[in-house]
Amino acid sequence: KPKRDELFELLSSSKFIAGTWEQFVCCLPKMTQDMIAGIKERVSKEENIMSAIAQHCFDNNPDITWRNLIDALLDANEVTVARNVLDKHS
């Protein structure tokens, strides 16, 4: 089971090729573009936005798994990042 800090690290350090980290987040369960926009309105710095989004994701998905993250990456066409996560956490 991933931790909030690991999701934050994934958001902040990954090289998203097919799209953006926001597109990946929208593929996570119970996460939408409107939620991201709301968080961006409340938080100013990009790093803090990613941290707040990671926290929001875990608040809304307390049972999130690495499989959920990998599936969301694949849904966002981020195959390379998904492969890196799979290699690191399998």
CATH T-level assignment (fold) for domain 4-89: Death Domain, Fas (1.10.533)
Q: Tell me the C-alpha distance between 83 and 57, whole Å.
A: 21
pLDDT tens-digit readout, 46-88: 778 989 999 999 999 999 999 999 999 999 999 999 999 999 9
Count of helices and strands (H, E) across the chain: 6, 0
Domain ranges in the chain are 4-89
Q: Which two tokens stand for residue 50?
A: 């990613």
As a whole number, mean pLDDT of residues 17-26 equals 92
